[in-house]
């Protein structure tokens, strides 16, 4: 089955750029949307954005000015860059596939599955 | 953005109990509602989509209901492996948003 694995630095300095990569294995990266979701310690889940395998992106308006998500289909990877980070960006960052089903009249139910195991990124000097 | 709320924020229950968690959306999301289970230090696990459709492999003691703005997740007979935090998530509009979670712990 499809598995996702996040990788990247666990510590980033304030004002710098957080960079993470998600590697997809056990299935093709094609024909799906791929998301980044984060969870500050002890808090809830926040969707950061997603990318289609063709490169089309959509970002959370709350982060849009600082986020870039890219995809490399040849490597079965997609990546997250979050600029100008502060302590508020400290979180576990997850990558996830947006799956869908029960489509009718051009509208589909969608959900996040599977997820990577998550990687903690701490913003600190 | 559509705001999601959950109640209660936490509950204590015993093995074998029936547990119900409520999720409310700030506007109608029809049936575009998903549920996830998260255990400490783990990624969320997808349970239910379209408010009431069980993901393959999810035990039948889990069920979901509701439409519009009000939804429920019910665990009919709580098992030891069910102690976790549960999140609802709307998929009706972008950005997708999650509820704050309901922690189910052992009484």
* Closest CB to A117 among B31, B43, B89: B43
pLDDT for the residue numbered A107: 82
Cβ-based contacts under 8 A for chains A and B: 59
pLDDT at A122 over 90: yes
Residues of A in contact with B84 (CB under 8 A): none
Beta carbons of A46 and B99 less than 8 Å apart = no
pLDDT confidence tier of residue B78, bands split at 50, 70 and 90: very high
* Structure tokens that stand for A65 in this block: 């000015």
3-state secondary structure of B75: strand
The owner of tokens 């102690």 is: B83
pLDDT digits (tens, 9 = 90+) for A9-24: 999 999 999 999 999 9
Other Cβ atoms within 10 Å of A54 Cβ, number: 10
B35 to chain A, any CB pair closer than 8 A? The answer is no
pLDDT digits (tens, 9 = 90+) for A61-111: 999 999 999 999 999 999 999 999 999 999 999 999 999 988 887 789 999
Share of chain A above pLDDT 90, in %: 94
> Cα-Cα-Cα-Cα dihedral of B72, A44, B38, A113, to 10°?
90
pLDDT digits (tens, 9 = 90+) for A27-48: 999 999 999 999 999 999 999 9
DSSP state of B4: E
* Closest CB to A111 among B34, B94, B97: B34
């Amino acid at each position: 089955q499809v598995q996702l694995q996040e990788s990247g630095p666990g510590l980033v300095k304030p004002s710098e750029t957080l960079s993470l990569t998600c590697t997809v294995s056990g299935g093709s990266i094609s024909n799906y949307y791929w998301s980044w979701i984060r969870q500050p310690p002890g808090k809830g889940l926040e969707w950061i954005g997603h990318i289609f395998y063709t490169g089309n992106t959509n970002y959370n308006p709350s982060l849009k000015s600082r986020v870039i998500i890219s995809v490399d289909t040849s490597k079965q990877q997609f990546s997250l860059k979050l600029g100008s980070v502060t302590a508020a960006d400290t979180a576990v960052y997850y990558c996830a596939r947006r799956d869908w089903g029960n489509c009718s009249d051009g509208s589909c139910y969608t959900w996040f599955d599977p997820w990577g195991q998550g990687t903690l990124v701490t913003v600190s000097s | 953005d559509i705001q999601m709320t959950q109640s209660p924020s936490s509950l204590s229950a015993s093995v074998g109990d029936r547990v119900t968690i409520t999720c409310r959306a700030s506007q109608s999301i029809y049936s575009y509602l998903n549920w996830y289970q998260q255990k400490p230090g783990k990624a969320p696990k997808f349970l239910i989509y379209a408010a009431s459709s069980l993901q393959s492999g999810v035990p039948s003691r889990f069920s979901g209901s509701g439409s519009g703005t009000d939804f429920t997740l019910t665990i009919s007979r709580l098992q030891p492996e069910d102690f976790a935090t549960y999140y609802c998530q709307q998929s009706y509009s972008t950005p997708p948003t999650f509820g704050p979670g309901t922690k189910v712990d052992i009484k």
